[in-house]
Structure 1
Amino acid sequence: MPASARTVLRILACLLLPLIALPALAHSTEHLGGGFAAGFMHPLLGPDHVVAMVAVGLWGAFLGAPALWVLPVVFPLVMAMGGVLGVLGIPVPGVELGIALSAVLLGGMVAFAVRPPLWVAGLLVAVFAVFHGHAHGTELPHESSPLVYSLGFVIATGLLHLAGIGFGALVRSPAGRVAVRAAGGAISVVGLFFLQGAM
């Protein structure tokens, strides 16, 4: 492996490993009250959400157009619908398990360079989006406007997708392709820790 790829992998490990130690901070926005700020910070403080959202962007970038923009659009749209289910108190079984599996499988798609048809990739992303959205919806602060809160978490999710797309742009070079696939592998491994906690 070239020295540049090893350097990228070390930087990536330094960025992802602290996420494993943050479960106590996940989704804690009580100090923000309600509204847009709480909705915006909610996904950013949940390491399980962060790694899965970055994985969506990475996979989209890895697959190229049209997945590059389809996957990051499908996810927040369906996530908002899952959020409505959560706000309305409609149960969705296995939410925490689904969230953990999203990191494992989406990261694995990148790590193993899986290139399914676009509709399969979109369907997989949409299924996981329901779990993430439901979790956000059920944790809506009582004093919040559901619409404003949802707008915050959808925008934050979009920015996490963009971060994944930005890193995924490295696929254009051989060393960058190795780094992107390694990032997917790292996300999948982090997801295994979340999966252990969800079972």
Structure 2
Amino acid sequence: MKSALKSGLLALAAAALPAAASAHPAIGEAAGFSHGFAHPMSGLDHVLAMVMVGVFAFQLGGRTTWLVPTTFVLVMALGGALGIAGINVPFVEIGIALSVVVLGAIVALNVKASLAAALGIIGLFAIFHGYAHGAEMPENAAAAGYATGFMIATALLHVAGLALGYLICRAGERQGLFVTRTAGGIATIAGVGILTGLI
């Protein structure tokens, strides 16, 4: 049980490492797929939100386990298209920060949302994240490759969240509850920090 607990905390820390390692890649440094793949990994807000989506999906279980991440990626692609096209979406940065706060709280409290509510929440936040990715696409990047890159990177972060959920479950009911609340609480606190500009 202790090893599963440690593994869960290590997985959360590992998921956050890419965000701590670098800022957003510079324009012209990479193009197309590689730049798109790097973008979701380069911001703590994106990394935490995506991992929490995976944990949330695992907590809900059943077909929701794959419907939640899939819906997020597909709706995020729509948001990305809006960003690439230069169509204005208001409150993007606030929406992204709130996604970390809300998803972290949902995970910490182990909220058992209905499928419709879960997909609605996920879809709303996916628009903001996708728009940010699309709006920051460098001019020399191919849109299709760039979009494919950020979609795959996002899916991998969701898989990391699902894996964290699995490890939490393996830790046992008591220890798992502690790790879940800790992981969700850390994300929520970080989200408040991002929202207020302290992070």
Give the TM-score band, short-chain normalised. Answer: 0.7 to 0.9
Whether 2:91 is the aligned partner of 1:94: answer yes
Q: Which residue of 1 aligns with 2:100?
A: 103
> Aligned pair in 2 of structure 1 residues 29, 158: CA closer, same or farther (>3 Å)?
farther
Q: Which residue of 2 aligns with 1:150?
A: 147
Whether 2:184 is the aligned partner of 1:187: answer no
1:10-30 CA distances to partner (integer Å, 9 max, x unpaired)?
65786588789x4x9442243
Q: Which amino acid in the other structure matches residue 169 of structure 2?
A: V
Deviation of the 1:93 alpha carbon: 0.5
Whether 2:138 is the aligned partner of 1:141: answer yes
Deviation of the 1:81 alpha carbon: 0.2
1:171 paired residue among 169, 172, 186: 169
Gaps of 5+ in 1: none
Identity of aligned residues (%): 43
C-alpha contact (below 8 Å) 1:57/1:161 kept by paired residues: yes
* RMSD over aligned Cα atoms: 2.5
For structure 1, which segment, 127-136 or 181-190, has the greater mean C-alpha deviation from structure 2 after superposition?
181-190
Gaps of 5+ in 2: none
Match of 1:116, SS state, is coil
> Aligned pair in 2 of structure 1 residues 38, 112: CA closer, same or farther (>3 Å)?
same
Structure 1 distance, partners of 2:28, 2:80, is 21
C-alpha contact (below 8 Å) 1:105/1:188 kept by paired residues: yes
1:135-185 CA distances to partner (integer Å, 9 max, x unpaired)?
011100101111110000000000000000001012252122321232111
Structure 2 distance, partners of 1:99, 1:84, is 17
1:85-126 CA distances to partner (integer Å, 9 max, x unpaired)?
001111110000000000000010010111111110111000
**Residues 47-58 of structure 1: pairs in structure 2 closer than 5 A:** 47-58=44-55
Structure 2 distance, partners of 1:45, 1:17, is 9
Taking structure 1 as the reference length, the TM-score comes to 0.88
1:71 paired residue among 43, 56, 68: 68
C-alpha contact (below 8 Å) 2:101/2:188 kept by paired residues: yes
Structure 2 distance, partners of 1:120, 1:146, is 31
Q: Which amino acid in the other structure matches residue 197 of structure 1?
A: G
Structure 1 distance, partners of 2:180, 2:44, is 19
Q: Which amino acid in the other structure matches residue 130 of structure 2?
A: G
C-alpha contact (below 8 Å) 1:13/1:186 kept by paired residues: no
C-alpha contact (below 8 Å) 2:16/2:47 kept by paired residues: no
**Residues 14-93 of structure 1: pairs in structure 2 closer than 5 A:** 22=20, 25-30=22-27, 32-93=29-90
Structure 2 distance, partners of 1:160, 1:11, is 14
Deviation of the 1:189 alpha carbon: 1.0
C-alpha contact (below 8 Å) 1:29/1:41 kept by paired residues: no
> Aligned pair in 2 of structure 1 residues 32, 17: CA closer, same or farther (>3 Å)?
closer
